[in-house]
Amino acid sequence: MSEDKTPADPAEAPANDLDADEIEALKAEAAALKEQVLRYAAEAENTRRRAEREANDARAYAIQKFARDLLGVADNLARALSHLPTDLADPATKTFVVGVEMTEKELQTAFERNGLKKIHPAKGEKFDPHKHQAMMELAEADAPPGAIVEVMQSGYELLGRLVRPAMVVVAGKGAGARGKANKGDGNPYAGGEDDGAGGSVDTRA
């Protein structure tokens, strides 16, 4: 006599279609969770990189305020060297001058070791509003408009970041600008609000 393997209760029969739906739902849920984990991991990595970058910047530019305070010392040494006496026959005066020169050189060397670079444009160099500040306009027959004709004060930058623009005199247009500051409108060296620190002529000079 053969055994009847048909389930007595139809509810006990395997629901193959329902199991497939559940599997698909679980797969979709797993994919969504995986995407969410990857997104959180990416956000965490971006946060870590941003914090690391900010920490590196803080270390790199930590001396910026200290360096700015020392610029006055460098300026005074440069002014002293630019007004050297013509007669250095006196041994004491000569020794004093040599000492000032050595001090100024050592200070600049210390600046360079720490990433502080002097901005001292050469005569004839084109005016750069991101590094230079125009203090005066002069009509120069041997210089094109916009060329630097004199440096009034050197500028400095720390690892590419401007600490102080170089204060310069630039060649202007027309003889009317000769020997006086250009305080009128139409200044070709005046920058907009988004330009660098030296974009406009400083009329307080």
Q: What's phi and psi for 43, nearest 5 deg?
A: -65, -40
- Say yes or no: 94 and 177 in one domain: no
Which residue in this structure is represented by tokens 């005074």?
76
Residue 122's pLDDT is 92
- Say yes or no: 201 and 140 in one domain: yes
DSSP class of residue 195?
S
Which residue, of 60, 81, 96, is where some domain finishes?
60
- Say yes or no: 165 and 186 in one domain: yes
- Say yes or no: 51 and 80 in one domain: no
Do the domain assignments include residue 25? yes
Residues 6+ apart with CB under 8 A from 156: 67, 71, 111, 116, 117, 118, 119, 163, 164
Which residue, of 72, 91, 114, is where some domain finishes?
114
Give how many domains the chain has, as a whole number: 3
Question: Per residue in 132-147, pLDDT tens?
Answer: 999 999 887 688 888 9
Identity of residue 80: A
- Say yes or no: 89 and 167 in one domain: no
Question: Per residue in 96-105, pLDDT tens?
Answer: 888 989 999 9
Structural domain of 163: 118-205
- Say yes or no: 128 and 201 in one domain: yes
135: domain CATH number is 2.30.22.10
- Say yes or no: 48 and 96 in one domain: no
- Say yes or no: 169 and 183 in one domain: yes
Do the domain assignments include residue 173? yes
Low-confidence ranges of the chain (pLDDT < 50): 13, 15, 175-186, 191-196, 200-205
